[in-house]
Amino acid sequence: MSAFGVRDLLDVAGAPGTAGRSDAQEVGARFSGPPASAQPPAEALAPVLKGPALTPVVLAGCVRGLEVVLLAGLGFAVHRIALAGVVPLGWSYIVAIVAVAGLAAAFFQVGGCYRIGAFRSIAKTAAKLAAGWTMAFLIVATVMVFAKVADHYSRIWLASFYGGGLALLAIERIALFAFTGVQMRKGLFDRRTAIVGGGEAAEELIRSLEASPDSGIKIVGVFDDRGDMRSTDVVAGHPKLGNVSDLVAYARRARIDLIVFTIPISAETRILQMLAKLWVLPIDIRLSAHATKLRLRPRAYSYLGAVPVLDVFDKPLADWDIVLKNVFDKVVAVLALIALAPVMLAVALAVKLGSKGPVLFKQQRYGFNNEQIEVFKFRSMYVDQADYASAKQVTRSDPRVTRVGRIIRKTSLDELPQLFNVLKGNLSLVGPRPHVLQAKAANTLYDQVVDGYFARHKVKPGITGWAQINGWRGETDTSEKLQRRVEHDLYYIENWSILFDLQILATTPFALFKTENAY
């Protein structure tokens, strides 16, 4: 379901969150932080504010790839040691080596050897690894016999490859067990989960989650809008940290990966009211199947360990998507800096000679999940008139802008230093543009103009974006301009792909010729 479909649904349901009512007002903590009930735990969790780059899914993929490479490398190494100068390394050996390594990885996958729980237990996984490795060899050997090419392979090589593979897998998995144990103790692979709703339903869900050790769930607390006896201060040993507005503030300060509702589907209006506040967060949201009498087919559910849940929202980027986008950003940023170095030097020289003051302008803006980041730009204003808080938007023929500044702002050359922000990791090449903290449209704060404005911060902001190449760059002096920009930003978030990023990057140079809104 798209973001705009959800917002329309919430409006129809009569949930709060209409335009003119800011997320800051809803949370009551945009600048002052969360309420006292939520602030201490959030402060205590400060060392884990950042989400782990190495999630269980990414770790499993890395281990899978590593084992294929190790096993294939072992096959080639055994051939070189045992058969060098005697039997040449022809295609017959290469195909056999690749087939054995690939089949072994496939059997390990089927046997559950790439689950996070398998990395934490050597004893339970050893037999499956040995069985998978043996099956891979038996299948390849059977094919050799039926193809009448078995005599072309050295038996010494086959035996050494098989025995060496068992030993190599044992060593690799022991090292993996040690690595995973250390990281687990640090909480790296924990899926930090907030429970919404109290009472017996929450207690039942929490006990079920804690009874599934392979779920990787770590409950950080319970949040409930009810304050009566139906929702006690402690639920199944976990404290109640506040209401849903407190949860939004909490999630801005501490890492939360998952929110699970224990509220029955029959409480539709109450759920929609809560979702109206929570959907702006870059967090997975699920509805516990424990909380409803509705029974669907097993495939209709996703599972937290053995606990069935219904998917409500997914974070836009997760696991390999994050890795892929980060690698893409870093590689392209480095190439762009090399290619544009002469242009950037020329602009820097022009800025320096054009007026007194530093070449770079640094400004606090909103980043991922409303985090405040420092964004770099070439200075385009007179230094004594620089507007660090952007209390007043730049307009046509603005006297604060230098002659050089008019040119570089029109052509967006002033944005080039943000390539260093990309390398720093707080900005992406493509994404919603980062806005200043007190940005206004028609003298009204952005988040009060557009309902759900902060949902555009579900991903990292970017140097360019879908809104910019569609003409919604520059001044946002009216609510309609801001609305259109946010609509395009949310469309990008809901439809992200590397190909989409490439399309936007390829179109950006042509979009720069549309300068009617850029001053």
What pLDDT digit, counting tens, does each position of 458-488 carry?
999 999 999 989 888 766 768 888 889 999 9
| Whether residue 44 has pLDDT greater than 60 | no
The pLDDT of residue 38:
43
| Whether residue 128 has pLDDT greater than 60 | yes
pLDDT above 70 as % of the chain: 82
16/96 same-domain check: no
Domain C-terminal end among 265, 286, 313: 313
| Whether residue 9 has pLDDT greater than 50 | no
The CA–CA distances, whole Å, from 284 to 16, 278, 281 equal 21, 10, 9
Alpha-carbon distance 214 to 209, whole Å?
Answer: 9
Closest CA to 263 of 205, 306, 220: 205
497/369 same-domain check: yes
The pLDDT of residue 229:
63
The burial class, CB within 10 Å (0-12 / 13-18 / 19+), for 161 is buried
The pLDDT of residue 21:
39
Assess contact for 427 and 435: CB atoms under 8 A.
no
The pLDDT of residue 462:
94
| Whether residue 516 has pLDDT greater than 70 | no
- Which residues have C-beta within 8 Å of that of residue 186, sequence separation ≥ 6? none
Long-range contacts of 161-166 (CB under 8 A, 24+ apart): 161/74, 161/75, 161/78, 161/97, 161/100, 162/133, 162/134, 162/137, 164/74, 164/78, 165/71, 165/74, 165/100, 165/104, 165/133, 166/130, 166/133
Alpha-carbon distance 43 to 417, whole Å?
Answer: 33
The pLDDT of residue 197:
86
| Whether residue 391 has pLDDT greater than 80 | no
Angle made by CA atoms 180, 181, 187, in degrees to the nearest 5:
85
173/26 same-domain check: no
Alpha-carbon distance 45 to 255, whole Å?
Answer: 8
Mean pLDDT of 337-342: 95
| Whether residue 241 has pLDDT greater than 70 | yes
Domain C-terminal end among 313, 341, 372: 313
Q: 3-state DSSP helix/strand/coil percent for the chain, to nearest 5?
A: 55, 15, 35
The pLDDT of residue 387:
67
Instruction: Give the chain's domain count.
Output: 3
Domain extent for 284:
3-53+190-313
Domain C-terminal end among 185, 220, 251: 185
The pLDDT of residue 49:
47
Mean pLDDT of the chain: 83
137/233 same-domain check: no
The pLDDT of residue 506:
93
Does the pTM exceed 0.85?
Answer: no
Q: What element of type H or E holds 377?
A: strand 372-378
Q: How confident is the model at residue 1 (pLDDT cuts 50, 70, 90)?
A: very low
Q: What element of type H or E holds 68?
A: helix 56-83
229/355 same-domain check: no
- Which residues have C-beta within 8 Å of that of residue 309, sequence separation ≥ 6? 260, 286, 287, 288, 289, 301, 302, 303
The pLDDT of residue 392:
67
The pLDDT of residue 292:
62
- For residue range 404-422, what is the model confidence (pLDDT) as tens digits? 988 888 888 999 999 999 9
Q: How confident is the model at residue 40 (pLDDT cuts 50, 70, 90)?
A: very low
Tally of CA atoms within 13 A in the half-sphere of 513 that contains its CB: 3
Longest dimension (CA), the chain: 86
| Whether residue 291 has pLDDT greater than 70 | no
The number of beta carbons lying within 10 Å of the beta carbon of residue 226 is 13
What the block records as the tokens of 263 is 């509220």
139/251 same-domain check: no
Mean pLDDT of 306-327: 90
The pLDDT of residue 515:
56
The pLDDT of residue 167:
96
Assess contact for 257 and 51: CB atoms under 8 A.
yes
The CA–CA distances, whole Å, from 5 to 258, 369, 494 equal 22, 21, 11
215/241 same-domain check: yes
| Whether residue 103 has pLDDT greater than 50 | yes
60/40 same-domain check: no
47/98 same-domain check: no
Sign of CA pseudo-dihedral 438, 440, 443, 444: negative
Alpha-carbon distance 104 to 140, whole Å?
Answer: 11
Q: How confident is the model at residue 30 (pLDDT cuts 50, 70, 90)?
A: very low
Mean pLDDT of 59-87: 92
270/413 same-domain check: no
pLDDT above 90 as % of the chain: 42
